[in-house]
């Protein structure tokens, strides 16, 4: 049973008890009863009903106390779980190996043949091949040949520039025999004992137009006839003249130019191939182009 109804019932019972006591007090008191035979039961009942009705009216008029709502507990905050941001893995770029570099560079190296002899050359620009002046001699035409297994090419090129002092010549083959140009490196950044690679077509008149690769180190930096040269102990033979001397990045650091032999010294020598430095190439290339 709700608390409000229980409280009203208790109060009604208390009122009823009080009324009963009052009625009996009135009925049995010293007051002089009214004339005639008294009907005590009817009188008491009427009085009780009257008093009970009055008290019930009073109780009904009294407002019931407003129940105080129970406080709603505040919701517990949901803990926020912060997921750690994964650190991205660095992208690994593999460093090209020397064989990878060589397989790319050989596409830009060719054999050169004239009545003066045979040698090598390499592309320095679109349709332009650099070689040695002594390879082309006094001739205005040169045969450009490549034999790499499935690739066999032979075209005629025009000699468009000669620098006798630097022993350089520029041959144009036009767009029909185009290959990527080799990039130029830096002479000052080439240190002694740095690994270098020689690519060319030595002894092609005997062994054919197959490309040849040898490896050595930068043995010395020399000045000869007012020009700077890199000396290398990489094997170089007749026919390597005009071929590139590369660093391990595949950049040109020189052009194979001469080799000190017994004829010059009167003694047997080894590891004395000289390459005109890349700085000497770059300073003379505009004049060879006719610029």
The yes-or-no answer on residue 209 being catalytic is no
The yes-or-no answer on residue 220 being catalytic is no
Single out the catalytic residue among 108, 120, 167, 277.
Answer: 167
Query: 134 to each of 118, 120, 163, 239, 291, how far by Cα in Å?
Result: 10, 11, 10, 11, 22
Query: 273 to each of 232, 236, 241, how far by Cα in Å?
Result: 6, 6, 10
Q: How far apart are CA 48 and CA 14, in angstroms?
A: 13
Helix count and strand count (H, E) for the chain: 7, 12
The yes-or-no answer on residue 70 being catalytic is no
- Cβ burial, residue 246 (10 Å; 0-12/13-18/19+): buried
Which of 145, 146, 118 lies closest to 132, judged by CA?
118
Which of 138, 190, 186 lies closest to 164, judged by CA?
138
Single out the catalytic residue among 134, 172, 194, 205.
Answer: 134
Single out the catalytic residue among 108, 204, 219, 241.
Answer: 241
Count the alpha carbons within 13 Å of 167 in the hemisphere toward its beta carbon.
23
Active site residues: 134, 167, 241
């Amino acid at each position: 049973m709700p608390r409000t109804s229980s409280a009203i019932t208790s109060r009604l019972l208390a009122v009823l008890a009080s009324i009963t006591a009052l009625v009996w007090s009135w009925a049995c008191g010293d007051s002089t009863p009214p004339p005639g035979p008294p009907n005590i039961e009817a009188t008491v009942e009427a009085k009780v009903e009257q008093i009970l009705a009055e008290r019930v009216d009073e109780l009904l008029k009294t407002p019931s106390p407003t129940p105080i709502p129970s406080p709603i507990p505040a919701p517990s905050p949901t803990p926020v779980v912060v997921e750690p941001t994964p650190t991205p893995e660095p992208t690994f770029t593999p460093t090209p190996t020397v064989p990878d570099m060589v397989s790319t560079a050989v596409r830009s190296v060719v054999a050169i043949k004239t009545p003066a002899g045979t040698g090598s050359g390499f592309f320095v620009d679109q349709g332009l091949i650099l070689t040695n002046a002594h390879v082309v001699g006094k001739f205005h035409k040169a045969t450009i040949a490549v034999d790499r297994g499935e690739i066999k090419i032979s075209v005629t090129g025009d000699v468009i520039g000669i620098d006798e002092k630097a022993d350089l010549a520029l041959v144009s083959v036009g767009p029909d025999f185009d290959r990527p140009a080799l990039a130029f490196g830096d002479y000052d950044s080439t240190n002694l004992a740095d690994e270098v690679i020689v690519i060319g077509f030595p002894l092609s008149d005997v062994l054919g137009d197959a490309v040849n690769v040898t490896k050595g180190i930068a043995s010395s930096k020399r000045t000869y006839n007012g020009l700077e040269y890199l000396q290398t102990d990489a094997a170089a033979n007749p026919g390597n003249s005009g071929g590139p001397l590369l660093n391990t990045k595949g950049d040109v650091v020189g052009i194979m130019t001469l080799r000190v032999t017994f004829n010059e010294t009167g003694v047997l020598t080894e590891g004395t191939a000289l390459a005109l430095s890349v700085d000497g190439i770059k300073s003379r290339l505009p004049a060879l182009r006719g610029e």
